[in-house]
């Protein structure tokens, strides 16, 4: 029997990798996409199948986590064996600007899906995965963080996700649903949204190297994160729904780096060595060496020794910051056989290569007299 999965947030980073994974395992995959005034399916366009042909295995439905009627109708129609709730207003800084919407989509949205499962009598059929987050640990109470570490959320996003975490646990205990929380630490990829720090860095460094941008402006460069690869992490999302009993798991690499180190690694990929001086708002990153690098890089970087290419802009500071996150994935290693496949240097390399390729394309468009898309947030 073909298994049927429903993915909310299918157009996001994880939605794209998870769709690929499930399709490769023979699933029929349904995804919920939002209506937008511009196309928003870039990340899954390669999986698109003509709706006019038979046996289509990848299908998209319009919907929104803030609309119960729509969720109930889609779940009734799809009758999924597995639901992966990946949809969210997922940007921590933006959640301070849109706290009510974030609570509605990320917190109550999760409840709406769980209730839909119950209303439709699918408690015994449908397994549920909730995209929980290391942001729950916020002001950390223990290092490293594991499944038993107390939560202390530090943003409207994290508070909304805390509701989602506990309502998932509650529905498991109250109604016997197979429902799990994956407490995932930061995971990145070339598909990462451009305003998350890793992608902002790899994109900016590539553009600076090609002379398309002068400077990268960042907020708190001392923040420490445990970064993994999204492709590896979606495998664990799937595995959590294949166990005998539903349980919650931390997924992390167990290795931590600072934002500043991430910038250094990214620049190094393009042959640029940076030195950081100054403190707080005054910190800058200056080019101290330029070396040829083998492989992808076709041109010598356009910046030169002495150029300041990284500066702090306090507007990227958050009202309350999560300074340090480091996961302990021992439980996932023992029970799910979790081994992180991609190291941070490998992740940085893959992201820089992808952004360098697209920056070169932008450069060629510009040289041909057309203005390339230029968004530097």
Residues with a known catalytic role? 133, 135, 157
Q: Which is nearer to ligand NDP, 152 or 276 (by Cβ)?
A: 152
By CB under 6 A, name the one of 71, 116, 191, 197 that touches ligand GDR.
Answer: 197
Q: How far apart are CA 263 and CA 287, in angstroms?
A: 12
Q: What is the dihedral of CA 147, 152, 155, 160, to 10 degrees?
A: 60
Element (H, E) at 375: none
Q: How far apart are CA 187 and CA 17, in angstroms?
A: 12
For 301, phi then psi, to 5°, come to -55, 145
Task: Look at residues 317, 349, 92 and name the one whose alpha carbon lies nearest to residue 223.
Answer: 317
Residue 29 touches ligand NDP, criterion: CB under 6 A? no
**Count of alpha carbons within 13 angstroms of residue 106, beta-carbon side:** 27
Q: Pick from ligand GDR, ligand NDP, none: which does 86 bind, CB < 5 to 8 A by kind?
A: ligand NDP
Residue 64 touches ligand NDP, criterion: CB under 6 A? yes
By CB under 6 A, name the one of 105, 206, 212, 223 that touches ligand NDP.
Answer: 105
* Closest approach of ligand GDR to the CB of residue 9, in Å: 11
Q: Please list the residues that pair with 7 across neighbouring strands.
A: 31, 84
Q: Pick from ligand NDP, ligand GDR, none: which does 14 bind, CB < 5 to 8 A by kind?
A: ligand NDP
**Count of alpha carbons within 13 angstroms of residue 109, beta-carbon side:** 26
Q: Pick from ligand NDP, ligand GDR, none: which does 89 bind, CB < 5 to 8 A by kind?
A: ligand NDP
Contact set for ligand GDR, span 112-141 (CB under 6 A): 133-135
**Count of alpha carbons within 13 angstroms of residue 237, beta-carbon side:** 28
Residue 156 touches ligand GDR, criterion: CB under 6 A? no
- What DSSP character marks residue 151? P
Query: What is 9-42 written as a DSSP string?
Result: TTTSHHHHHHHHHHHHTT-EEEEEE---SS---G
- The gap between the terminal CA atoms of the chain, to the nearest Å, is 46
Query: Which residues have CB under 8 Å from 361's CB, separation 6+?
Result: 372
Q: Pick from ligand NDP, ligand GDR, none: which does 24 bind, CB < 5 to 8 A by kind?
A: none
Q: How far apart are CA 338 and CA 239, in angstroms?
A: 10
For 304, phi then psi, to 5°, come to -130, 165
* Closest approach of ligand NDP to the CB of residue 362, in Å: 22
Residue 92 touches ligand GDR, criterion: CB under 6 A? yes
Q: How far apart are CA 206 and CA 204, in angstroms?
A: 5
For 180, phi then psi, to 5°, come to -130, 150
* 155-184 footprint of ligand NDP as x/- string (CB under 6 A): -----------------------------x
Of the ranges 13-21, 203-211, 272-280, 315-323, which one interacts with ligand NDP (CB under 6 A)? 13-21
By CB under 6 A, name the one of 146, 276, 316, 331 that touches ligand GDR.
Answer: 316
Q: Pick from ligand GDR, ligand NDP, none: which does 220 bind, CB < 5 to 8 A by kind?
A: ligand GDR
Size of the site for ligand GDR (CB under 6 A): 23
By CB under 6 A, name the one of 4, 6, 60, 65 that touches ligand NDP.
Answer: 65
By CB under 6 A, name the one of 95, 110, 133, 220 that touches ligand NDP.
Answer: 133
- Catalog residues that contact ligand NDP under the rule CB under 6 A: 8-9, 11-15, 32, 34, 36, 40, 64-66, 86-90, 105, 131, 133, 184, 186-187, 193
- Catalog residues that contact ligand GDR under the rule CB under 6 A: 90, 92-93, 133-135, 185-186, 195-198, 200, 218-220, 223, 225, 259, 316, 318, 321-322
């Amino acid at each position: 029997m073909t298994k049927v999965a429903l993915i909310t947030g299918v157009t996001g980073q994880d939605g794209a990798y998870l769709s690929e994974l499930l399709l490769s395992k023979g699933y029929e995959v349904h995804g919920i996409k939002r209506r937008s005034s511009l196309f928003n399916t870039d990340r899954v366009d390669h999986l698109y199948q003509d709706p006019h042909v038979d046996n289509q295995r990848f299908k998209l439905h319009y919907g929104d986590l803030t609309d119960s009627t729509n969720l109930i109708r889609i779940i009734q129609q799809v009758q999924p064996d597995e639901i992966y709730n990946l949809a969210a207003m997922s940007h921590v800084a933006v959640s301070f600007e849109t706290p009510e919407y974030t609570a509605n989509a990320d917190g109550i949205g999760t409840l709406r899906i769980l209730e839909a499962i119950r209303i439709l009598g699918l408690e015994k059929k449908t397994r549920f995965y909730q995209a929980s987050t290391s942001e729950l640990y916020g002001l950390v109470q223990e290092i490293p963080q594991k499944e038993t570490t107390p939560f202390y959320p530090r943003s409207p996003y994290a508070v909304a996700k805390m509701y989602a975490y506990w309502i998932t646990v509650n529905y498991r205990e109250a109604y016997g649903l197979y429902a799990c929380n994956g407490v995932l630490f930061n995971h990145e990829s070339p598909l990462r949204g451009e305003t998350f720090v890793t992608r902002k860095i790899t994109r900016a460094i590539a553009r600076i190297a090609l002379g398309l941008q002068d400077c990268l402006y960042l907020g708190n460069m001392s923040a420490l994160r445990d970064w993994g690869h999204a492709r590896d992490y979606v495998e664990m999302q799937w595995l959590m729904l294949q166990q005998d009993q539903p349980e919650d798991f931390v997924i992390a690499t167990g290795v931590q780096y600072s934002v500043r180190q991430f910038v250094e690694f990214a620049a190094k990929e393009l042959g640029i060595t940076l030195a950081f001086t100054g403190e707080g708002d005054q910190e800058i990153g200056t080019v101290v060496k330029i070396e040829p690098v083998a492989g992808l890089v076709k041109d010598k970087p356009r910046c030169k020794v002495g150029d300041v290419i990284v500066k702090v802009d306090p507007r990227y500071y958050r009202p309350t910051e999560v300074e340090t996150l480091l996961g302990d994935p021992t439980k996932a290693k023992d029970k799910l056989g979790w081994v992180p496949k991609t190291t941070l240097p490998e992740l940085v390399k893959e992201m820089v290569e992808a952004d360098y390729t697209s920056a070169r394309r932008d450069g060629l468009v510009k040289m041909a007299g057309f203005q390339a898309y230029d968004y530097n947030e």
